Amino acid sequence: MSPSTFRRLMNLWPPFLCNSIRVQSLSDDWSEATVVLRLRPWNRNYVKSQFGGNLFAMTDPLWMLLVMHQLGSEYYVWDKAGAIDFVAPGREDVYAHFKLEPSVVDELRAAAANGEKVLRWFETEIKTASGEVVARVRKQIYVRLKPRAR
């Protein structure tokens, strides 16, 4: 499936669609993505800022998907763990940008070459349009070469 088709389907995925989360861009080589969370009356918390669950949800699948598509079908790729640090209230639309460097993909391939599991943390800042950091999200990704490729 092409990245542009995948992006459109992600935007129809209920956890994103119902919470005003949109994948704005997804590069043709699966190395970068940008996601926006629009502030709406139905996704605000009690104090009228972005709901923390949505802040985490907007970042949830992206690192796994980028790594999975960069490595290819010979690897298992899973989310293993995640954490979020709330820095400031999000009182407007917020954005998260993901960039998977080729050197990181090479490191993952090399570390998984012997068939052992590899765990790596990825970090993303969620920011307003003006660049104010609202939250920092960490995701741990599990990578392992599939038995048939060892």
In angstroms, what CA-CA distances link 29 with 55, 71, 92, 98, 100?
A: 25, 11, 30, 13, 10
Query: Which domain covers residue 8, as residue numbers?
Result: 3-149
Return the CATH number at 104. 3.10.129.10
Note the pLDDT tens digit of each residue in 113-138.
Answer: 999 999 999 999 999 999 999 999 99
Please give the pLDDT value at position 31: 97
Looking at the 3D structure of the chain, how many domains does it have?
1
The 10s digit of each residue's pLDDT in 22-39 is: 999 999 999 999 999 999
Predicted confidence at residue 30, as pLDDT, reads 97
Return the closest-CA partner of residue 138 out of 121, 117, 118, 120.
121
Query: Per-residue pLDDT tens for 41-85?
Result: 999 999 999 999 999 999 999 999 999 999 999 999 999 999 999
- The per-residue pLDDT for 1 is 86
